[in-house]
Every structure is written in C-alpha cells, then in structure tokens.
Amino acid sequence: MEDTPQARESRRYFISGMVQGVGYRYFAMRLAQRFGLGGYARNLPDGRVEVYAVGSASKLQEFRKELARGPHGASVASVAEEEAALNPKFERGFSIEH
C-alpha cells in the first residue's frame, strides 16, 4: 500500500548525546532514504542533532527506533519527538542542512 498525501505526517526529532562529529546526519539521511522519508538533518549549536521527517506514521515510528540506536561511534542519550507542520518543500528527498 502506497502512502497517500493524507497519510503523510511530519515529526521533528531532537537527538542528544555524542551525536555531532560522528556522521549522525549522514546516518539519518541513509535511514530516511531506506524508509522512503523526506526531510532534513542538521546540527544544533547546543550539541544536539535535529531531524525533520515526513512520511507515513508506521515508517516514522520505525525511523525513530533507528535514530535512537545511532551510527557506530555515536552515543545517543535521548530522542525527543514532537509533531511538526507538514512542509511541502521536504516531502520528497532528504537533505543535510547547515
């Protein structure tokens, strides 16, 4: 079953721990591509990584579980999740924001 525009949701995740300088944003991008999600990942000045993702509720749930694991070399302390407004700019494709 394909996602329909009505079935698409968006979430924002804030990942804390040792998550900068370890390839976390690229890890998030590869995951998003694997799950067919749109969005972006970016480093925040306070040391966290912000990930915005658009997709079906079930894919977003799976995505969050993997974000909590993180890439080799990272140490994820927590993943805070919040609903986010759907931004059509990020519905297709995933990018690394600076």
The tens digit of pLDDT for each residue in 15-63 reads: 999 999 999 999 999 999 999 999 999 999 999 999 999 999 999 999 9
CB-based contact 37:93 (threshold 8 Å): no
CB-based contact 41:98 (threshold 8 Å): no
pLDDT at residue 7 in the model = 80
3-class state of residue 74 by DSSP: coil
**Catalytic residue, candidates 8, 11, 25, 48:** 25
What tens digit of pLDDT does each residue of 72-85 get? 999 999 999 999 99
Q: The pTM is what? A: 0.91
87 is catalytic: no
Options 3.90.1150.10, 3.40.50.2000, 3.40.50.300, 3.30.70.100; CATH of 7-89:
3.30.70.100
Which residue in the block uniquely carries the two structure tokens 């995933």?
94
**Catalytic residue, candidates 12, 30, 43, 64:** 43
12 is catalytic: no
Domain residues of the chain, as ranges? 7-89
Alpha helices in the chain (DSSP H): 24-35, 57-69
